[in-house]
Amino acid sequence: MIEVGINGYGTIGKRVADAVRAQPDMEVVGVAKTRPNFEAQTAVDKDFELYAAIEDRKPQFAEAGIDLAGDVEELVEESDIVVDACPSGIGADNAEMYRKYDTPALLQGGEDADAVDASFNARSNYDTVEGDDLVRVVSCNTTGLSRLVAPLQEAYGIEKVRTTLVRRGGDPAQSGRGPINDILPNPVSLPSHHGPDVNTIFPDLNIDTLGLKVPATLMHTHSVNVTLESEPDAAEVRSLLEDERRTFVIPEWLGLDGAGAIKELAQDAGRPRADIWENCIWGESISMEGDDLYLFQAIHQESDVVPENVDAIRAVLGEASQEESMARTDEAMGLDTPLAQMQ
């Protein structure tokens, strides 16, 4: 059994904890929290051992009636690997602690690429991170783009990717985030950071990205144009993407006209937290104009990186091949059942 510690039990951390627990070859040692709040209570209700991330705040947990199993350094020492899901920047600050206990760690997409040994996407570069100490599971948007780029590059070759990312202003629980009623070019200057981030996975890829932020919380939407090195027809590209793991090519008849409807389907399907782990690509948007491919995809920012974290654990520890790991992860999470056919 791979013993996994989770440091940071927020949007990403709590989802990764559940996904790790579902794996037949992994166990959650415990989760570290900075303070007793509703998420700490969720961890207690789910029987995760709770560790204090900040020593001085231990009394706050006692006051809230929440028992602690120890502090975060003990969690790190007891774990074979730690998934750090702390807010952006804190993961890099924690790196010294992971080094001190010689425990490899996965950081998240909010960290700088140069803070880690390597960046990771299971479909694209699984085999490159074995034995690394610090690996970054790339952001939700970079994960979504990498899953698209990898099969297109292998099947057709890519001359250039141009993507406009229409990004949600914040997650549903991020009450402090704006914009409230606005549409922001973000960043105004080009390119957005997303293209260079995709280059941490595909160093030679020619990619430009533009970003916008809109007052939505449900999902991101990407408007994608890929100039290919060959000219497949749209049906062929569609079939290629349908055959991929972690892509859901939306059939027209489902009538999913936006992120709201996709989230509703995930709820109806009984997905935990209405999560959508796969890229949602509108089938009818897949179009070819000469060698230019166009499509729209929606990305659930809170959950597409979750299976990637599970695979990164096995990849870093050398515990399974890419195909074995992705298949095991998907089966254990319920991701291998297409979203539209789930009950």
Pick the piece of the chain touching ligand NAD (CB under 6 A) from 5-13, 98-106, 127-135, 184-192. Answer: 5-13
Number of chain residues interacting with ligand NAD (CB under 6 A):
26
Task: Work out which of 4, 5, 6, 8 binds ligand NAD, going by CB under 6 A.
Answer: 8
108 binds ligand NAD (CB under 6 A): yes
Task: Work out which of 4, 11, 195, 222 binds ligand NAD, going by CB under 6 A.
Answer: 11
Task: Work out which of 5, 36, 104, 109 binds ligand NAD, going by CB under 6 A.
Answer: 109
335 binds ligand NAD (CB under 6 A): no
Binding mask 119-148 for ligand NAD (x = CB under 6 A): --------------------xx--------
5/197 Cα distance (integer angstroms): 26
Q: CB–CB of 30/2 below 8 Å? A: no
CB of 221 to ligand NAD, least distance (A): 14
Task: Work out which of 4, 6, 7, 308 binds ligand NAD, going by CB under 6 A.
Answer: 7
Is the CA virtual torsion 171, 308, 107, 224 positive or negative? negative
175/172 Cα distance (integer angstroms): 7
243/104 Cα distance (integer angstroms): 33
Please give the distance of CA 243 from its chain centroid, rounded to a whole number: 20
Encoded tokens for 37: 């709040």
Pick the piece of the chain touching ligand NAD (CB under 6 A) from 63-71, 79-87, 251-259, 321-329. Answer: 79-87
Number of H helices, E strands in the chain: 12, 16
Number of residues in the chain = 343
Q: Is 140 a catalytic residue?
A: yes
CB of 129 to ligand NAD, least distance (A): 17
By C-alpha distance, which of 142, 158, 335, 167 is closest to 247? 335
Q: In what order do the strands lie in the sheet with 81-84?
A: 70-71, 50-52, 26-33, 2-7, 81-84, 105-107, 134-137, 118-120
Residue closer to ligand NAD (CB basis): 8 or 195:
8
162/142 Cα distance (integer angstroms): 13
Binding site for ligand NAD (CB under 6 A): 7-13, 32, 34, 39, 53, 85-88, 90, 108-111, 139-140, 171, 301-302, 305
Q: Which amino acids are annotated catalytic? A: 140
